[in-house]
Amino acid sequence: TENVQEEEEEVLSQKLIELSTEGQKRPVTTPTSSQEENSRKKRICLSKVVDIKQPSNQITSYLETMDEMFHHTMVSSMIPRSDLQAIIEYKHQMKVIQLNLQRWTRYYEVGVEEQLWSIEVKEKLSIKTSDEKQYAIYIQQYLDELDQQFEHLQQQLNSDKKNLSQLTDNIERQLDEFIQNYRLVPYTMKSDYQLARFDYEYQDQLLERQFLQLQPTDQQIEFSKNLYKFYYEYQTAKKELIELKHRIQCNYPTQQSVTQALSMLSRTISTTVVNPNFYHQEIDQDEKKLQDCLNNFMMKSIQEAEKKISQCRLLFQKQEQLSQSILTSSLVDILYRRYEL
């Protein structure tokens, strides 16, 4: 019947998800409004003193979990939980400010010396000015604000610590280690990523300047852009193949493979089975077939990715051959240095 078929498709979908995540079941229900309300009430609100973006819901949830685990390890401490949490917040925000100071000082130094500005700088200052010559002034103001915020938090922290005689050096050391090794991790990762991206942009723009200093013709500039485009597509195709192979090793198929496998299996469902008990037995017996079908689609994706690599490599090699008659050796050298970034 129609209801039995719908039930079968739902069970197949759940089986497929379990197989593709090595047996880890995912919840199929969404939280109720009361659950969401309770979750919102539990979230810790960071102090508004610091001019930083509020963390996403995922980071907020992560911080809550880490804090709860830490407080469990401090049950023997005589410090009230609220006081301990306040110390954690002060120290955490001071660490975040230090990350921002490190990153924006780097932006300022490179910007003043080379007149090269990061994407983060342009995004933040676009609402204030469109004149890049004013960037250094605004960045210096921002750095001064961060210094003031840091000093303000330091004073609040020192004041609170004076009223907590139970806060020993050992407990404070545990707090610092907890913040550095757990609480600060997502912020450090984001800051490191932004710095790495800026270093890439910096090196890339320096090479572009060197390229233009050689006074290439319009034809050479256009050809260089196309050559880099083919190179980028070739490298992207190779990375896609690596990702697909890694997914197979981890038994984590692509969404396209899951959809195709689910579609094929749903078409083979028998609609003549009316006894739910027999129906579920049949589903259990088809688990191997389900995984085989999924693997076949993944292997097909691998073959298509390998074919794409061959096509991209051929196009890039043809452009390379043409470059010998269009670009000078100096221009080619700069292009290859750009490839190595």
CA dist., res. 237 & res. 225, Å (int): 18
Residue with tokens 């800026």: 198
Q: What is the share, in percent, of the chain residues with pLDDT greater than 70?
A: 72
Contacts of 55 (CB under 8 A, 6+ apart): 46, 63, 186
Coil, strand, or helix at residue 208? helix
Q: Specify whether the CB–CB gap between 138 and 129 falls below 8 A.
A: yes
Average pLDDT in the chain: 78
**Residue pLDDT, tens place only, 104-123:** 999 999 999 999 999 999 98
| pLDDT category of residue 69 using cuts at 50, 70 and 90 | confident
Which of 34-48, 119-133, 217-231 has the least mean pLDDT? 34-48
Classify each residue of 256-269 as buried b or exposed e, where b means 16 or more C-beta atoms within 10 Å of its C-beta: ebbebbbeebeeeb
Per DSSP, helices labelled H in 250-326 are 255-267, 276-285, 287-326
Tell me which residue has tokens 């969401």.
36
Q: How far apart are the two ends of the chain, measured CA to CA in Å? A: 60
> Is residue 31 pLDDT above 50, yes or no?
no
Closest CA to 102 of 187, 177, 205: 187
Q: Is the pLDDT of residue 157 over 90?
A: yes
Counting residues of the chain whose pLDDT is more than 90, the rounded percentage is 45
pLDDT band, residue 24 (cuts 50/70/90): very low
Cβ 43 vs Cβ 60: under 8 Å: yes
For residue 167, pLDDT over 80 is answered with: yes
Q: Classify 145 in phi/psi space as left (phi over 0), alpha (psi -120 to 50) or beta.
A: alpha
Q: Higher-confidence residue: 313 or 71?
A: 313
Q: How confident is the model at residue 292 (pLDDT cuts 50, 70, 90)?
A: confident
